[in-house]
Structure 1
Amino acid sequence: MARYRGPKAKIARRFNEPIFGPSKAVAKKAYPPGQHGRSRRRKQSEYAIQLMEKQKAKYTYGVLEKQFANIFKKASRKSGVTGEILLQMLEARLDNTVFRLGIAPTRRAARQLVLHKHITVNGEIVNVPSVSLRIGDVVAVRERSKSLEAVTDSLATNGAKRFPWLEFDASELAGKVVSVPQRDDIPENINEQLIVELYSK
C-alpha cells in the first residue's frame, strides 16, 4: 500500500507544527527546511496558503493526493458543511480511530497495527487502514495481540484518550464509535474552509 515514506521532520518544519507527533526539530528550528529556509519570503499568495492547508491535512491523516481528492469529492456530494464533513470522513478512517483511542501513539503506528492484523472491527480482522467506520462499529485489539508491547506502552504512556464520539473499554481494549465527531471536538489545527476554496477553483 502506498504511503508517504519521506522525512517527517522536514514536513513538520514546513508547517511549523508537529503533525507526526512530538518533534524536537520544530522546537529547535522554527523555520522552513532547506538552504533558503531562514530567508524565504514571508508573503504568500492566496493559492499558496490554500495549498499549504490542504497539504497539512493530507500529511496529518496520512492520505495520498488521489485518496484525499476522492474523499473531498464524496464530502462535497453530501448535504451540510463540506469542510466539516471532509474532516469527519478523515476522522472515521480505521487507522485514525485506533490512534484516537490511544491504542497507538501516532497514526503511523496505528496504520502498522492495522496492516499487521492486530486490529478487529466488529470481531473480524481488518487490515485496511482506510476502512471508513460507522456509528456502532466496535474497534478492538485482537485477543492474541493484547499483550503486544507497542499497545501496552502506548496506553501506559498516553492513557486511553477521551473523545466525545468514542467509547473505550480499557479492560477489553475495545472502542466503540458512538456518534459523528463535531468540528469543535476535532483537535487538529486545520482550516478546512481554505481546502474547500482550493478545490472550488
Structure 2
Amino acid sequence: MARNLAPKCKQCRREGEKLFLKGEKCFTDKCAIERRNYPPGQHGQKKGRLSDYGGQLREKQKVKKIYGILEKQFRNIYKLADKERGITGDNLLQLLESRLDNVVYHMGFGSSRSEARQIVRHNSILVNGHKVNIPSYLVNVGDAVEIDKNAKNQLRIKSSIETANNRNFPSWIDVNVNEMKGIYKMKPERSDLPASINESLIIELYSK
C-alpha cells in the first residue's frame, strides 16, 4: 500500500504545528516544532503569502498527514461525508475519527496513528470479538475494540496504554486499561476535535 515516507518531523514543520506523528516525542522539548518552528529547506524562514487556493490545499494536506492517509482515500471519505445528512465538514471529521487505526490510537493501544495502523495490520485488534486488520475499517457507535490475547504482552502496547491513561482518554470512548478493551461510545462532537483544523477550507476546495 502507498505510504507517505517523508520524515515525520519535517511534515510537522511544513504545516507549522504539531501533528503528533512521533508519539511520545511530540510531548517533549525534543519536538522539532519546539526547536525550529519554520518550514524545512533553505527558504523555510522566508514568509510568503498564500492564495485562497493555496490555503485550501495546505489545509487538506495537513489533515491528510494527521490521519495518515493519501489522496484517493481522503477523497472517498469526503464523498461519503457529502452524502450523509448534516454538515459535510463535521461528517468528514467524524468519519476520519471513526477509522479503526484512529480509534486504536485514541484508546492508547498505539503511541501514534502510524503505530496503531501497524498494530491493526498485524492482526492484534478485535472488533466485537472478531479480528480486523484493515486500518480504514469504520467503527460504529457501540462497537467494542480490544487487543487480541496473543498481543497483550507486547511491551509497546503496554507502555502506550499506560501513557495514554495518564493523559486521560477522549470523552467519546470508554477504555478499560486492565482488560485493554474499549467501547466507541459516540461520534465526537466538533468541539471535541482540534480547533486548528479548518474543515470548511477543505470543503471549499473539493466543491469547486
Q: Distance in 1 between matches of 2:181 and 2:164?
A: 16
Aligned residue number for residue 4 of structure 2: 4
Equivalent position to 2:142, from 136, 144, 150: 136
Equivalent position to 2:199, from 187, 192, 199: 192
Q: Within 5 A, what are the aligned runs for 1:17-166?
A: 17-19=17-19, 20-21=21-22, 22=26, 24-39=31-46, 41-159=47-165, 161-166=168-173
Find the residue that maps to 1:159 and give its secondary structure: helix
Does structure 1 residue 13 correspond to structure 2 residue 13?
A: yes
Percent pairwise identity: 44
Task: Report the Cα offset of residue 158 of structure 1.
Answer: 2.8
Mean Cα deviation higher: 180-189 or 27-36: 180-189
Query: Gaps (5+ residues) in structure 2?
Result: none
Aligned residues between the structures: 200
TM-score by length of 1: 0.95
Deviations 1:138-175 (A, max 9, x none): 10000111111011111222327422211111221111
Q: Which runs of 4+ in 1 moved over 6 A?
A: none
CA RMSD of aligned residues (A): 1.3
Q: Distance in 2 between matches of 1:187 and 1:55?
A: 16
Q: Distance in 1 between matches of 2:194 and 2:151?
A: 29
Task: Report the Cα offset of residue 188 of structure 1.
Answer: 5.9
Q: Distance in 1 between matches of 2:105 and 2:195?
A: 13
Find the residue that maps to 1:105 and give its secondary structure: coil
TM-score by length of 2: 0.92
Equivalent AA in structure 1 for residue 9 of structure 2: A
Query: Gaps (5+ residues) in structure 1?
Result: none
Aligned residue number for residue 183 of structure 1: 190
